[in-house]
Amino acid sequence: MDASSDEGVVTEEVIVPRRVGQASAEPWDVLSPVDIEDGSGSAQNRLLIKGGRVVNDDMMQDADVYIEDGIIKQVGTNLHTPGGTRVIEAKGHLVMPGGIDTHTHMQMPFMGTQAIDDFYTGTRAALAGGTTMIMDFALPQRGESLIEAFHRWRTWADPKVCCDYAIHVGVTWWSDKVAQEMEELTNEQGVNSFKMFMAYKDTWQLNDEELLESFKRCKELGALAQVHAENGDVIKENSKKLLELGITGPEGHEMSRPEEVEAEATNRACVLANQVGCPLYICKITSKLAASALGQNLRRGTLVWGETIAAALGTDGSHYYNPCWQHAAGHIMSPPLRNDPQTPGFLMELLDVGDLQTTGTDNCTFSAAQKALGKDDFTKIPNGVNGVEDRMSVIWEKGVVSGKMDPCRFVAVTSTNAAKIFNIYPKKGRIAVGSDADIVVWNPHATRVISAKTHHQAVDFNIFEGMEVHGIAEFVVCHGRVVVEEGEVRAISGMGKYVPTPVFNPHVYGRLEERERANAPCKVERAPYEGPVAQLNGQGMQEGGIIPVQQETFYTRGPTRSGGVNLHDSSFHVSGRQRDDDLLPRTSIKLVTSPNSSSSLLGTFW
Contact status: 228 vs ligand URQ (CB under 6 A):
yes
Residue 114 Cβ vs Zn ion, minimum distance, rounded to whole Å: 15
Q: Give the C-alpha separation, 392 to 470, whole Å.
A: 10
* d(C-alpha 134, C-alpha 125), whole Å: 11
CB atoms within 10 A of CB 592: 8
Q: 73 exposed, middle or buried (CB, 10 Å; 0-12, 13-18, 19+)?
A: middle
The interface mask with ligand URQ, positions 345-364, x = CB under 6 A, is -----------------x-x
Single-letter amino acid, residue 37: E
Q: Tell me how many residues contact ligand URQ (CB under 6 A).
A: 9
- Residue 193 binds ligand URQ (CB under 6 A): no
Question: In the window 96-115, what residues touch ligand URQ (CB under 6 A)?
Answer: 105, 110
Task: Pick one of 10, 79, 333, 459: the residue that binds ligand URQ (CB under 6 A).
Answer: 333
Q: Which of 287, 383, 414, 443 binds ligand URQ (CB under 6 A)?
A: 383
Cα(74)–Cα(67) distance, rounded to whole angstroms? 7
Q: Provide the β-strand partners of residue 105.
A: none
Cβ-based nearer residue to ligand URQ, 242 or 337: 337
Name the residue whose CB lies closest to ligand URQ.
383
Say which entry of ligand URQ, Zn ion, none residue 383 contacts (CB below 5 to 8 A, set by partner kind): ligand URQ
- Measured CA to CA, the distance from residue 6 to residue 50 in angstroms comes to 10
- E strands, 560-603, are 589-590
* Residue 334 contact, options ligand URQ, Zn ion, none, Cβ 5-8 Å cut-off depending on partner type: ligand URQ
Among 122, 317, 384, 471, binds ligand URQ (CB under 6 A): 384
Q: Count, in order, helices (H) and strands (E) of the chain.
A: 18, 23
| Alpha-carbon dihedral 39, 41, 45, 48, rounded to 10 degrees | 150
Shortest CB 361 distance to Zn ion, Å? 9
Angle between helices 146-157 and 176-188 in degrees, nearest 10 = 40
Q: How far is the CB of 184 from ligand URQ (least distance, A)?
A: 24
Interface residues with Zn ion (CB under 5 A) are: 362
Least Å distance between CB 332 and Zn ion? 13
User: Are the CB atoms for 224 and 193 separated by under 8 Å?
Assistant: yes
- Indicate which single residue of 56, 186, 231, 334 sits in contact with ligand URQ (rule: CB under 6 A): 334
- Residue at 420: amino acid letter: K
Cβ distance to ligand URQ smaller for residue 235 or 333: 333
Taking CB atoms, the residue at the shortest distance from Zn ion is: 362
Q: Which is nearer to ligand URQ, 49 or 115 (CB)?
A: 115
CB of residue 41 to ligand URQ, shortest distance in Å: 36
Select 366 or 425, whichever has its Cβ closest to ligand URQ: 366
- Closest contact distance (angstroms) between CB of 105 and Zn ion is 5
The least distance separating ligand URQ from the CB of residue 367, rounded to whole angstroms, comes to 15
Residues with Cβ within 8 Å of residue 605, at least 6 apart in sequence: 588, 589, 591
- Cβ closest to ligand URQ, residue 329 vs residue 549: 329
Residues 533-592 that bind ligand URQ (CB under 6 A): none
Report the DSSP pairing between strands 53-55 and 439-449: unpaired
Quick note: the x/- pattern for ligand URQ over 415-454, rule CB under 6 A, is ----------------------------------------
CA torsion sign for 497, 382, 282, 213 is: negative
Task: State which residue, 384 or 496, has the beta carbon closest to ligand URQ.
Answer: 384
Q: How far is CA 293 from the centre of its chain?
A: 15
Q: Which is nearer to ligand URQ, 232 or 496 (CB)?
A: 232
List, in order, residues 6 or more apart from 36 with CB less than 8 Å away: 17, 43, 492
- Our CB check for ligand URQ shows the closer of 66 and 200 to be 200
The distance of closest approach from Cβ of residue 522 to ligand URQ in the complex, given in angstroms and rounded to an integer, is 41
Contact 223, 192 (CB under 8 A): yes
What is the maximum span of the chain, computed from C-alpha positions, in angstroms? 134
From the list Zn ion, ligand URQ, none, partner contacted by residue 333 (C-beta under 5 to 8 A by kind): ligand URQ
Contact partners, residue 585, CB within 8 Å, separation at least 6: none
Neighbours of 260 (CB within 10 A): 14
- Cβ distance to ligand URQ smaller for residue 163 or 309: 309
Taking the least distance from each CB to ligand URQ, the nearer of 32 and 379 is 379
Q: Which residues bind ligand URQ (CB under 6 A)?
A: 105, 110, 228, 333-334, 362, 364, 383-384
